[in-house]
Chains A and B, each alone.
Chain A
């Protein structure tokens, strides 16, 4: 029992020590509190931001961008991946184009997107959607392609066709790969959002950080970074949870064994 507690606490030991060291160093002015505000100062600023409602406002702005952009990009990637996995004609028609666009780093489009769509929501959502689309597309396509042909033949023999074949065999067979795409896409999603929000925006976590830089509010910059980390982790946890639920049948997700 005791060893279990120790085992569970062990991973947290190092971060806590680091925090404590940081606090001490700032308190005795060993490092500039202007550049390295102490953890206590950061916490206090965070508390103030929460009280004024500013924090919630900016988080909401960022979350809604991430969510809408992710949904659009993920949706397009998923549908395109499915179509191209199922139909050779569709694959012939669109895959080359998609692969060509994929080779452009989507963040290189930032200046152009700002000119086209301005600095409001559209540009951010567009960039996030573009970034999320490709990992979902590629992994969905790969998932569909690698479904065991034996299952499909067997399904046909037992009278499955069309949508039924898709629902019972193709989709579940592709799901492990699709989830790999989704989790990877979440990483791309946050990265894109951070860049897009830092460059041109007037609300959101990125704006919080850029704005704070103008006034040398390092504590707020640190808060924004921590926020990104927390939100990223949260999204990954959600995806992981969904994965575990959807792939219960998979031996490597089976908790009992």
Chain B
């Protein structure tokens, strides 16, 4: 999410120009599969697990992780699957008033989070500020037993003491580069000022 906002927002605004593909569509699926196994291993199954995708980049990944988890655990359509929520952290950001911030999508948390295992899902982990905001937001919805973090790409440059539990790919980057994650792959590139 942090990535997307920086892309849309002045003075960061401009057009994303891809330089190289870092993961292709198969890599994404392999990473999702491995991360799903890691989530199951860490939590000894799916009891109490809730996935929360951060708007907007993490939502598709959260749904993809949920269906992979259900596939591995052989949960069919007749049973309750893994609950998936979505969270827009704009109203919890620490840069409100410093640069333009607007909520994009409605937050939807389908279950009570008290005592649950919450797995936050985002596309790119960068400064950690989005996750800081997400932690504050989640706690307003209840008191989870544990909160874990799954990201497709960890690109470094943390500004807060936050670390991911499940990572698709560790990708060393320069600060001024951009990482674009879709279900089709991951591209590294630059922002071309418009």
Do A and B interact with each other, yes or no? no
Q: Which residues of A contact B (CB under 8 A)?
A: none
